[in-house]
Amino acid sequence: MKSCAYCGRQNEDALFFCGECGTALPGEPAALPISSATVPTVEAPGALNVAKAIAILGVYLAVQTLVGVMIGIIAVAASHISGSGSLLQTSQMIRSIMPIAVVEIVILGGISTVLMLLLLAPDQIRDTSPTGAAWVLGKRDAIISGFLLGLLLAGGFCFMSLFVQPRYPSHVGPLTQMSMTRGWPQILWGVTAVFLAPPTEEMLFRGAAYGGFRKSCGALWAGVLVTVIFVGLHFAEFIYYPAAIFSITCLAIITLWCRLRWGAIGPAIAVHVAYNLIVTVATFYSTSHLSSTLR
């Protein structure tokens, strides 16, 4: 029996408050065992997952598609206004607009990625874990190491190109034409390839997309999905040069390794910048050499 210190009433041992006056009795209720199976696992509201990763990728692709459609509409309208409306003139209009459009596509794609991550998972932006976006610069040594890895990969690709030459048809796509056209189209292509595309693509693929896929699908499938999507979106770069698929796949794997190895997106961007820089310089040199040969 428990005696109440206030009123003196005797209470059963199972009681923790006096039945007469309500005063707390000595002792505490025993903790009730709780099975972990009865407690549902609740995902944090701001966490990345596969649905959010797909949404971010979808908006990125939608922005690119929308800009491409607008280019086509503007080209067709300008061709008809000029009085011709022929397919050839429309194609020429598209090629003249394409350099500016490529810059807009990359910039708007990057803006859409940032805005979507801010909207869907703002707490994951600076999360350097495998399930976060890891949008941090990283240490200087890691960035330098990434840059050197990019140079090494691009050097191997250029060496391979000495033995396996690309075969371009008589009519190439607008982007390929842009890279081969000396002057401001080629300059804009080079600036986009070196300074704009690497941060945009790394923040999207090895950052937000990988973090979301990793959260829901695990490490293996996250790596496979991000790499396949990245390589697939660069289809235009190896449609005329199938050997390039090897180097682009290696680029995807190495950038992902760097992002995981150093827990930051900065080293991955450094790899991408170095790779694109060497490819751009090689393209400038080859077109310049070809032009001087044809004179």
pLDDT tens-digit series, residues 89-100: 777 777 778 888
- pLDDT computed for residue 153 by the predictor: 96
Q: How confident is the model at residue 30 (pLDDT cuts 50, 70, 90)?
A: very low
Instruction: Report how far apart, in Å, the C-alpha atoms of 256 and of each of 104, 112, 160 are.
Output: 26, 22, 23
How far apart CA 125 and CA 276 sit, in angstroms, is: 25
Q: Band of the pLDDT at 38, cuts 50, 70, 90?
A: very low
Cβ(137)–Cβ(266) under 8 Å?
yes
User: For all residues of the chain together, what is the average pLDDT?
Assistant: 84
**Mean pLDDT, range 26-35, rounded to an integer:** 53
The pLDDT score that the predictor gives to residue 28 is 54
- Is the predicted pLDDT of residue 262 greater than 80, yes or no? yes
Q: How far is CA 294 from CA 217, 290, 291, in A?
A: 54, 6, 5
- What pLDDT shows up at residue 111? 96
What pTM was computed for the model?
0.81
User: What number of CA atoms fall less than 13 Å from residue 101's CA on the CB side?
Assistant: 22
pLDDT average, residue stretch 188-212: 96
- pLDDT of 168 reads 58
Question: Taking a C-beta distance cutoff of 8 angstroms, is the pair 67, 107 a contact?
Answer: no
Measured between alpha carbons, how far is residue 201 from residues 109, 176, 227, 231, 251 in Å? 9, 19, 12, 12, 12
Averaged pLDDT for residues 83-88: 67
Other C-beta atoms within 10 Å of 250: how many? 14
